[in-house]
Amino acid sequence: MKTEFPCVLGIETSCDETAASVVRATRNADGPGAILSNIVLSQIEDHAPFGGVVPEIAARAHLEALDGIIESACVEAEMGFGDLDGIAVTSGPGLAGGLIVGTMTARAISAVHNLPLLTINHLEGHALTARLTDGVAFPYLLLLVSGGHTQILLVRGVGEYERWSTTIDDALGEAFDKTAKLLGLPYPGGPQVEARAREGNEKVIQFPRPLAGRQTLDMSFSGLKTAVRTEAQRDEPPAVDDICASFQAAVGDVLADRLQRAFDRFEIEFGFSASLIVAGGVAANNYLRGRLQTVCEQSGWRWIAPPHALCTDNAAMIAWAGVEHLRLGGAFEDAGIRPRWPLDRDTSVQYGSGKKGAKA
């Protein structure tokens, strides 16, 4: 490494945001780090007419924008490639076309400037973001809630992740988006449901709380989505605002129930309470942030959610994961892209909506 506190360029192109960021480590080994730049170009307008992400359009947009985004990130950070200690790039999970664009670009920069190439699991970026922002020490629990993943994981250290639960059907972000479609709300659906819920009454409809009260830590949201469809298709359906509020309240209750059981398991295993990190795109939902913060406070746990800009796809978290791995030393292997890539190495890939590689 060029310096005691490595500086890494991160590149993120796994779905529909083209992003680059420069992040530097600081004196504390657990963080926080310094974000010198964080540039994100959204493709929402490109995909909105189709009601979802179109992989071919996403890949083409990444190809057109990435070089300029990287240049902007370096200019804002006042860094040239010669000032960097490594290049970190998302190599999975995600859409293959986008992953190829980002990885090939990172390989080129690495080769030309003789910099280590760090291929990063997008989910690990989410898992380590709280160390970048808050300097959280290991171990801690991670609630990962996004369009493609809904999991509770034990984070023991860098590269040491143990999945405690997942969704057995729809991922939570997918459930939000499908609910929005059922109600005729525009894309992207999750923020629309949250906005309409603020104007509604969550007590109007008593939606089911799937798996609540059971010993398993796994989650299920498909039945809840079906219940929304039933209400929406009634001859005289409830107000959309009330459906959204009632749906969101049911989600909050399910997460609270699962987390309380996860807290109990953690305390039995380690003998103390720790921190809950909430990450992923759905972690930007302010209602759910408030619900989960209350659960933590009532249980004696520390609650941490990254700033909204670091919950959705971004390259700062990828750069920071690169910093974490760079400081561990050792050899770095370019294993190519991995559209499906579980975060925990010892858990086999399960098939179902909770395992989608598209959006994390």
For 208-224, the pLDDT digits (tens) are 999 888 888 999 999 99
Same domain, 152 and 102: no
Same domain, 167 and 295: yes
Among 306, 330, 346, identify where a domain stops: 306
Say what the pTM is.
0.92
Structural domain boundaries enclosing 21: 7-134+309-355
Mean pLDDT (the chain, rounded): 92
Q: Would you say residue 170 lies in a domain?
A: yes
Same domain, 106 and 124: yes
Q: Are 190 and 359 in contact (CB under 8 A)?
A: no
Same domain, 35 and 153: no
Place of tokens 């520390």: 302
Same domain, 301 and 196: yes
Q: Would you say residue 360 lies in a domain?
A: no
Same domain, 119 and 160: no
What is the spatial distance between Cα 66 and Cα 43, in angstroms, rounded to a whole number? 12
What digits encode the pLDDT tens for the residues 35-47? 999 999 999 899 9
Q: Would you say residue 190 lies in a domain?
A: yes
Q: Would you say residue 275 lies in a domain?
A: yes
What digits encode the pLDDT tens for the residues 81-140? 999 999 999 999 999 999 999 999 999 999 999 999 999 999 999 999 999 999 999 999
Same domain, 40 and 173: no
Q: What is the CA radius of gyration of the chain?
A: 20
Q: Are 7 and 88 in contact (CB under 8 A)?
A: no
- Give phi and psi for 126, each to the nearest 5: -60, -40
Q: Would you say residue 162 lies in a domain?
A: yes
Same domain, 59 and 120: yes
Same domain, 117 and 15: yes
- Check which CATH number belongs to the domain holding 25 and give it: 3.30.420.40
Tell me if the bond preceding 188 is cis, omega within 30° of 0.
yes
With cut-offs at 50, 70 and 90, classify the pLDDT of residue 357. very low
Same domain, 108 and 185: no
- The number of domains in the chain is 2
Task: Tell me the three-class secondary structure of 234-270, residue by residue.
Answer: CCCCCCHHHHHHHHHHHHHHHHHHHHHHHHHHHHHHH
What digits encode the pLDDT tens for the residues 259-271? 999 999 999 999 9
DSSP secondary structure letter of residue 167 = B
Q: Say what the pLDDT of residue 329 is.
A: 85
